[in-house]
Structure 1
Amino acid sequence: MSDFKLDSFLPYQLSVLAAQVSREFSAIYRERFGISVSEWRVVAHLSQTDEPVSVREIFQKVDMDKSKVSRAAAKLESRGFVVKTQNKTDGRLVELKLSAAGRELIREMAPIAREYEKQILSQLGEQESEFSAALETLLAGK
Structure 2
Amino acid sequence: MTRSHLKLDEFLPYRLSLASNAVSQVIAQAYEEHFGLKMHEWRVITVLAQDAELTQQEIVGRTKMDKVTVSRAAQELERRSLLRRVTNAEDGRSLRLSLTTEGRTLYERVVPAALELEAEVLEGLSAREISELKDVLRRLEVAADRVLTRR
1:64 counterpart residue number: 65
The answer on 1:111 being equivalent to 2:112 is yes
Q: Deviations over 1:63-108 (max 9, x none)?
A: 1111111111010001010011001121111110000000001101
Q: How far apart are residue 2 of structure 1 and its match? A: 6.2
Q: How many residues align?
A: 141
Q: Which moved more, 1:91-100 or 1:118-127?
A: 118-127
4+ residue segments displaced more than 2 Å: 125-142
Q: Deviations over 1:19-71 (max 9, x none)?
A: 11111101001001111111111111111122x21001111211111111111
2:24 counterpart residue number: 22
The answer on 1:131 being equivalent to 2:133 is yes
1:44 counterpart residue number: 46
Q: Which moved more, 1:80-89 or 1:128-137?
A: 128-137
Distance 2:7 2:42 in 1: 34
2:148 counterpart residue number: none
TM-score (norm 1): 0.91
Mark the runs of 5 or more structure 2 residues left unpaired by the alignment. 146-151
Look up the SS of the partner of 2:84 in the other structure. strand
**Aligned residues of 1:83 and 1:98 also touching (Cα < 8 A):** yes
Q: What is the one-letter code of the residue matched to 2:51?
A: T
Instruction: Indicate the percent of aligned positions where both proteins have the same amino acid.
Output: 38
Q: How far apart are residue 136 of structure 1 and its match? A: 3.0
Q: What is the one-letter code of the residue matched to 2:38?
A: S
1:81 counterpart residue number: 82
2:149 counterpart residue number: none
Q: What is the one-letter code of the residue matched to 2:88?
A: N
Mark the runs of 5 or more structure 1 residues left unpaired by the alignment. none
Q: Which moved more, 1:130-139 or 1:80-89?
A: 130-139
C-alpha root-mean-square deviation of aligned residues, in Å?
A: 1.7
TM-score (norm 2): 0.86
